[in-house]
Amino acid sequence: MNLIGSAALTTMNRKIRILIIAPTQDTILGGQAVQGSRLLEKLNQEPYIHADIQSIAPRFLPKLQQIKYLRTFLRGVKYLYDITTKIPSYDIIHIFSAAHASFLLAPTPGVLVAKVFGKKTVLNYRSGQLEEHYANWHRTLRPTLRLFDKIVTPSNYLVDVFAGYGFEAQSVYNFVNVERFKFRERNPLRPVFFSNRLLEELYNIPCILRAFAVIQQKYTEARLIVASFGDQRENLENYAKELKLKNVEFVGKVNQERMAELYNEIDIYLNSPNTDNMPGSILECYASGVPIVTTNAGGIPYILEHEKTGLMVEVNDHEALAREAMRLLEDNELAQRLISNGREAVAKFSWEKVRNEWLTIYEELLNTESQSNIVVMDKH
């Protein structure tokens, strides 16, 4: 495919305007914010596209936003004002989505306003909790999904889940700016471990701490760096003390520049979510030369192959997580093979690989006369 817009631009005689609605890194650090900022940057390098981003949690009146519940109300009002005034100026509204209540707070008003103004919409559903979301919220979720012109997910895992509920979705991978992560030779590996998932119940960081306790019984000098934030931080720090762990460092929020530096400092990545979709941290490990030990939650087996590009264990099995981590330290041939294969695998998660997929989606939306390309097959 050539650059987007050959047909559409003949009629429009201007750049295609795309509004990305997503978390932004100045308000909410996390995978969605990272992918949103990366997509914004790359789209604006296209000669026929102008893209902007709208935060789902806009900042204003900072003193009042220090009050917990008032903050939520004020952000909601500002968000509704922003999308109502901005959406009319754009051709395509690309909405990032998590699950549960946040789906009602951001994607739902976004698509409703877009439809009022006759705009094409993409739902970029990114949560590995779709099954739970659907089970608890299907009465509001189903009709809202029908409003979107396209459903796009980062992994074929969610494509399969959506299909089970009668919705057609397509997969466009998360991508990583490989050039921003330094690949370092790790031969042999050191017992320096890393976790950078949000400190929330979903990501089961206690499993990593229990695994590290097992590892430290054998490798007393082992280190663990935990680089993230969340409502579980205090509990996790206390739990690390209960386990009598040494050399554990909680470093808090880390921006993308510092994150690349941290990957360069560590040798093994530990990941233990109970539910997941397509964690960008796995791609960043591939790019950095960091071998991975992870649970097999959700979409992870769709992007990581056991004993080829990483090691996988069952969800919440800290003993297996520890065992596979120590296996990397003790089997250098295995470790080097995983690192090499990961370096090759990351190529398919580059912008160059996903660019045409996004541009094709946008072009199809502009060229279609129908307001809905989602195929819905009601299940009884």
Mean pLDDT of the region 289-309? 97
Query: Could you tell me if residue 311 is inside a domain?
Result: yes
Residues 336 and 247 occupy one common structural domain: yes
235 or 71, which is more confident: 235
Residues 342 and 356 occupy one common structural domain: no
Query: Could you tell me if residue 380 is inside a domain?
Result: no
Residue 29 pLDDT: 59
Exposed e or buried b per residue across 127-155, where buried means at least 16 C-beta atoms within 10 angstroms of its C-beta? bbbbeebbeebeeebbebbebbbbbbbbb
Residue 75 pLDDT: 82
Query: Could you tell me if residue 373 is inside a domain?
Result: no
pLDDT tens per residue across span 255-295: 888 999 999 999 999 999 999 999 999 999 999 999 999 99
Measured torsion, CA atoms of residues 242, 243, 247, 252, in degrees rounded to the nearest 10:
-60
Residues 87 and 67 occupy one common structural domain: yes
Which residues are CB-contacts of 354 (< 8 A; sequence separation ≥ 6)? 172, 173, 175
Q: Residue written as tokens 């997941």? A: 276
CATH of the domain at 300: 3.40.50.2000
Which residues are CB-contacts of 82 (< 8 A; sequence separation ≥ 6)? 54, 58
Considering the chain, what percentage of its residues have pLDDT values greater than 70?
Answer: 89
- pLDDT surpasses 60 at 376: no
Q: Where does residue 204 fall: left (phi above 0), alpha (psi -120 to 50 degrees), or beta otherwise?
A: left
- pLDDT surpasses 50 at 380: no
Residue 374 pLDDT: 39
Residues 212 and 339 occupy one common structural domain: yes
Residue 269 pLDDT: 98
Mean pLDDT of the region 22-29? 75
Say if CB 273 and CB 297 are below 8 A apart: yes
Residue 64 pLDDT: 54
373 or 124, which is more confident: 124
Mean pLDDT of the region 41-68? 83
Residue 349 pLDDT: 96
311 or 24, which is more confident: 311
157 exposure class (CB count in 10 Å sphere: 0-12, 13-18, 19+): buried
Mean pLDDT of the region 349-357? 96
Query: Could you tell me if residue 230 is inside a domain?
Result: yes
Residues 118 and 199 occupy one common structural domain: no
Residues 79 and 216 occupy one common structural domain: no
- pLDDT surpasses 60 at 379: no
Query: Could you tell me if residue 372 is inside a domain?
Result: no
Residues 209 and 325 occupy one common structural domain: yes
pLDDT confidence of 65, banded at 50, 70, 90?
A: low
- pLDDT surpasses 50 at 60: yes
The CA distance from 9 to 52, in Å, is 19
pLDDT tens per residue across span 223-239: 999 999 999 999 999 99
The DSSP annotation for 362-379 comes to HHHHHH---S----B---
pLDDT, averaged across the chain: 91
pLDDT confidence of 76, banded at 50, 70, 90?
A: confident
Q: Residue written as tokens 């050539």? A: 2
Residue 31 pLDDT: 86
Q: In what order do the strands lie in the sheet with 292-295?
A: 248-250, 223-226, 192-195, 268-271, 292-295, 311-313
The CA distance from 380 to 195, in Å, is 43
Say if CB 290 and CB 253 are below 8 A apart: no
Query: Could you tell me if residue 1 is inside a domain?
Result: no
Query: Could you tell me if residue 13 is inside a domain?
Result: yes
Residue 274 pLDDT: 96
Query: Could you tell me if residue 379 is inside a domain?
Result: no
Residues 160 and 193 occupy one common structural domain: no
Residues 313 and 301 occupy one common structural domain: yes
Mean pLDDT of the region 114-142? 97
Residue 8 pLDDT: 53
Global confidence as pTM = 0.88
Residues 234 and 329 occupy one common structural domain: yes
Write out the two tokens for 224.
């663990």
Residue 302 pLDDT: 95
pLDDT tens per residue across span 175-213: 999 999 999 999 999 999 999 999 999 999 999 999 999
Residues 152 and 261 occupy one common structural domain: no
10 or 253, which is more confident: 253
Q: In what order do the strands lie in the sheet with 49-55?
A: 49-55, 16-22, 92-97, 120-125, 150-153, 170-171
**Number of structural domains the chain divides into:** 2
The CA distance from 6 to 183, in Å, is 38
- Domain limits for position 216: 178-348
Residues 92 and 160 occupy one common structural domain: yes
